[in-house]
Chain A
Amino acid sequence: MSSTQADDQLLRRSRSGDERAFSELVDRHGDYLFGVARSLVRSDHDAEDAVQECLLAALRARYDERASVRTWLVGILVRQAALVRRKRWRWSREAHQPAPQPRPDAADAVDARLDLTKMLQELSPDHREVIVLRELEQMSYDEMARLLEVPRGTIESRLFRAREQLRRMSSEERDGL
């Protein structure tokens, strides 16, 4: 049984009220979804909100099996993260409060890889979305355009600018600026 089939079944069982199936689905994808959400919003709390809404929305949304369950969940997550950001903006927190500093994480000490949240934090929300969808989930331009409800040309230009900004930041970091 492939992982995709198993995910399908877990999703179906979760929808019929099987709480253990839901827990297993979260065990498989929850950490990844949280990590992606954390690169799209400004705090752990907002990331948890976005993932929770994503998982609950997944119990109601139609899964057409064109993409893997995980990619499909990331698509829902990106929209939920945008809603969380809008909610925070309405509450004027984002406008008036500095971004919360990331908590020191025990994993930081042993993992020298770059942190995706830090890497993307200088990008606009629109640019973060396309980077996540393209670079992590390998979505096509048309899939992203449908998901984000913008023209394909907008996706191309956002992706180009986002990558250009990441490249510039990376070279500035290398040059010690």
Chain B
Amino acid sequence: MACERSNLVQAHYDGELPSGEAAALRRHLERCADCRKLLAELRAVSTAVASARLRRPSQMTQRRLRHAPRLRREQSVRRLTGWLTATAAAIVLATWVLPTRNQAPPPRYAQGTDAPVVGAALFGGADENVPEVVLAAHWMASDLSAPRVVEP
């Protein structure tokens, strides 16, 4: 487009020019063939778009849209139920299954004595008569890597 005022034609066409500028452009259009051609093209595009056919939704889509809030609520309930089920399963797994798998073997008792042999194993064989309460405390803290030194 050769005319330097052509950049105003679209704004004029869309009614976006202040009234003073619009009046000046109308006068310009009377003598500028390029700008008149641009204006005609803008009108043609608008007519084509406004008269174009819009795609229609299927009946299934129409039904789903009509019930969108209810479908969304049901979807949320299903999601929440799934989440709660997964959480419950994780809790059961953490409470029952995993501790059983990682549990220390039951203490073995030396023949003819009440002292647990495991005490010797745990405490480097220093004393087989380690009280059971100390052993229990040790097992409870078994995730701590450093072994305790227990004075006899």
Contact = CB atoms under 8 A, between A and B. Distances in A.
Given A34-B55, A38-B54, A141-B14, A27 B45 contact: no
Contacts of B62: 26, 30-31
Q: Looking at chain B, what size class is its interface with the partner chain?
A: 20 to 34
A48 B61 contact: yes
Contact of B66 (A26, A59, A105, A131): A26
Interface in B31-52: 41-42, 44-46, 48-52
Interface string A110-144: 01011111010000000000010011100011000
Contacts of A107: 53, 56
Q: How large is the interface on A (under 10, 10 to 19, 20 to 34, 35 or more residues)?
A: 35 or more
Contacts, number: 117
B45 A114 contact: no
Contact of A52 (B41, B49, B68): B68
Interface of A: 14, 19, 22-23, 26-27, 30-32, 34-36, 38-39, 44, 47-48, 51-52, 55-56, 59, 102, 105, 107, 111, 113-117, 119, 131, 134-136, 140-141, 156, 159-160, 163, 166-167, 170
A34 B45 contact: no
B11 interface: yes
